[in-house]
Amino acid sequence: MNFKHTIFIIGLILIISCSFLFSENLDNMDAEKPNVVTLILTTTVEVDKQIVNVEQNKSDVRKDYYLKAIRNWLNNTKLNIVVVENSGYYYPELATELKDHADRFEIISFKESEQPDAAYLMEYQDKGAHEFYAIDYAIRHSKLVEKSNFIIKITGRYYVPDLENYMKNIIVDDYLALRQNNGNRCEMVGAHKSHIDYMFAKDTTGMYAESVYADRIGNTPQEKVIFCPVFEIEETLQGSNNHRNTNLFSNKPTI
């Protein structure tokens, strides 16, 4: 074997070795790719008089439930938290939390009546259409959502202690949607970033939110849907009818 052949073989070995190492590093990077999950907590401190089916309409009571849940999410998890408030309340009580958790906490507050593209909501007395608009608004204005793999909308009064650990065991890029155990309820609904424009599109049909979400999840390949277990929660009053809920949700809320 002459000198040129020796150099050629050595070079070939180096190229193959480098290619193998580069490929292995890419595989490791994919394997270690984190689940970036962001929660959108929907809140309405001041309920518009036109909205029906809201039993709990005292702003101070509603605000206290929201503050308790938001602080639980911030203090007991590392999840990204986006609070979207559609009656214009800015939560001055959370000024310290906004500083302490600046890397993972946003409050996005607006008034529906001041949004030109929300004029159509005047037709709808059910809160579902208003919540769809709020979620869409949050998605369009949140920096945290923009950086996330998976979005989970949760009604703002609820804190789910086991959700973070549950999501840690799921590769969210393998799924398009998430539903709670009872598919006829919609306190918690999720979607992959590639699916959020469909799952959380503003609804103008006048249907109840539960029906809209059920249709959208039903039209999603079921092997791509995360079916959550029944999550136990601290006893929390449901805003629409003052049922005392202790889980999200096996069947009917506990009265």
Please tell me the predicted confidence (pLDDT) of residue 53. 44
Task: Tell me which residue range forms the domain holding 28.
Answer: 1-32
Same domain for 186 and 238, yes or no, is yes
Please tell me the predicted confidence (pLDDT) of residue 123. 83
Q: Which CATH number covers residue 182?
A: 3.90.550.10
Same domain for 22 and 91, yes or no, is no
Residue 255 lies in a domain: no
Q: How far is CA 86 from CA 127, 129, 135, 139, 198, in A?
A: 11, 12, 10, 13, 21
Per-residue pLDDT of the chain in tens (255 residues, 90 and over written 9)? 555 555 545 555 555 444 444 444 434 434 445 689 999 999 999 876 454 444 456 788 889 999 999 999 999 999 999 999 999 999 999 999 999 999 999 999 999 889 999 898 888 877 788 999 999 999 999 999 999 999 999 999 999 999 999 999 999 999 999 999 998 889 999 999 999 999 999 987 778 899 999 999 999 999 999 999 999 998 887 765 567 778 876 554 433
Please tell me the predicted confidence (pLDDT) of residue 44. 92
Same domain for 131 and 96, yes or no, is yes
For the segment 117-144, what is each residue's pLDDT rounded down to a tens digit? 989 888 887 778 899 999 999 999 999 9
Same domain for 93 and 206, yes or no, is yes
Q: What is the 3-state secondary structure (H, E, C) of the chain?
A: CCHHHHHHHHHHHHHHHHHHHHHHHHHHHHHCCCCCEEEEEEECCCCCCCCCCCCCCCHHHHHHHHHHHHHHHHHHCCCEEEEEECECCCCHHHHHHHHHCCCCEEEEECEHHHCHHHHHHHHCCCHHHHHHHHHHHHHHHCHHHHCCCEEEEEECCCCCCCHHHHHHCCCHHHCCEEECCCCCCCCEEEEECCCHHHHCCCCCCCCCHHHHHHHHHHCCCHHHEEECCCEEEEEEECCCCCCEEEEECCCCCCC
Same domain for 41 and 143, yes or no, is yes
Same domain for 22 and 47, yes or no, is no
The tokens 């039903």 sit on which residue? Answer: 218
The burial of 89, by beta-carbon neighbours within 10 Å (0-12 exposed, 13-18 middle, 19 or more buried), is given as buried
Number of domains in the chain: 2
Same domain for 168 and 104, yes or no, is yes
